[in-house]
Amino acid sequence: MPGRRRPRERQPGQWRQTRQGESLCSHPPEDLVVAGFGGFVEQKAKNLLSGQNRRVQPFVASLLDGVDVRETIRHWEKVLSGRWRPSPPTWPGSGAGRSEIAMNLSTTACNLIVLILALLILLAGVAYCFINRLLRKVKEAQQKLIALATIDDLTQLYNRRYFFVRFQQELERAKRYQRPLSCLILDLDHFKQVNDTYGHLAGDQVLKEIAHILKTQCRQSDLAGRYGGEEMIVLLPETDAHGAFAIAERVREMIQNHETVSAKGQSIRVTVSIGVAHLNGAEVGAVDNPDRIVQYADDALLAAKKKGRNRIKLYQST
């Protein structure tokens, strides 16, 4: 059209300067192609930066001031292709702010450590209490098992099995050191009549009280056990014949003078016959097992019963 100014043609690769004299980019506009945006967006970007839209160009130039367009395009190419990974975060603020944040984190870590230690100590205390209580229960159970295995339930004397285990140990010790050893066997006189007259519960009560008397008259080194039924047996280590006879006589007198009151209020009195067997240091070496000594005491007991009961008989080999 006449009067209209013809636009000046540009050479390929030439880049128009803004009115401020600043270059939008040091690369040609053909490189400003955002991959994956489609041909429309690509063409609009070329038109925008090629000078066809002069009103928008200064605004775009101000937006792109100081921006490396090539690096921007590469960045978005990586984003669209999935090859971009965010860079690690940096501490915000000045150096003082970073120091304050680090100090706060350090304090938080210390508090967390203290809390963990407190919880560990608490758990250790709970575990200690639980284990201690469990050990007490185990110890009590063991003591009950030992009592069941060694103690007669009625008389609370040693049962026959455990008594002879200890008897064998004392016999071996006496043989090694050639020390004297004595044994007593006690039998309640006419005990069957007690059961028939007063009942078996009253008879059990009599056995309990006689066993208690026997235990109180024995020394700590002596062994008292239930031999069977109404018979009881006592082992007297380091005791000669005179000492064994004295202990037997004291027990006999206490049983004779003792009165048992039944649940019905009935008064019950019993007597006891005792056989005593004694071996000195020289004689004990010829004995291999406790049965021989027990046989001597049993023979003496039978002799005491034949003599009229309620008496003591010392075993005589002749």
Cα angle 50, 53, 56 (rounded to 5 degrees) comes to 105
Tell me phi and psi for residue 86, to 5 degrees.
Answer: -65, 145
- pLDDT tier, 8 (very low <50, low <70, confident <90, very high otherwise): low
State the DSSP code for 5: P
Task: Give me the pLDDT at residue 114, please.
Answer: 82
Residue 140 annotated in active site: no
Task: Give me the pLDDT at residue 110, please.
Answer: 79
* Beta bridge pairs of residue 13: none
Task: Give me the pLDDT at residue 50, please.
Answer: 53
User: Residues 26-46: pLDDT tens digits?
Assistant: 444 444 443 344 444 445 555
Task: Give me the pLDDT at residue 97, please.
Answer: 55
Of 109-113, 117-121, 211-215, the least confident: 109-113
- pLDDT tier, 225 (very low <50, low <70, confident <90, very high otherwise): very high
Check whether 138 has a pLDDT greater than 80: yes
Check whether 279 has a pLDDT greater than 60: yes
- pLDDT tier, 17 (very low <50, low <70, confident <90, very high otherwise): very low
Q: Which residue would you say has higher pLDDT here, 190 or 52?
A: 190
Task: Give me the pLDDT at residue 259, please.
Answer: 94
Q: What is the largest CA-CA distance in the chain?
A: 171
d(CA 91, CA 291): 94
d(CA 274, CA 312): 5
Task: Give me the pLDDT at residue 174, please.
Answer: 93
Q: Which residue would you say has higher pLDDT here, 71 or 227?
A: 227
d(CA 121, CA 129): 12
**DSSP letter string, 108-165:** HHHHHHHHHHHHHHHHHHHHHHHHHHHHHHHHHHHHHHHHHHHB-TTT-SBPHHHHHH
Instruction: Taking residues 236-263, report their average pLDDT.
Output: 94
Domain boundaries, the chain: 29-81, 103-150, 160-314
- Global pTM value: 0.60
Check 9, 71, 172, 230 and give the catalytic one.
Answer: 230
d(CA 312, CA 249): 7
Tell me phi and psi for residue 148, to 5 degrees.
Answer: -65, -30
Strand (E) or helix (H) holding 311: none
Check whether 256 has a pLDDT greater than 60: yes
Supply the CATH classification number for the domain 160-314: 3.30.70.270
Minimal CA–CA distance to 204: which of 235, 226, 224? 226
Check whether 73 has a pLDDT greater than 80: no
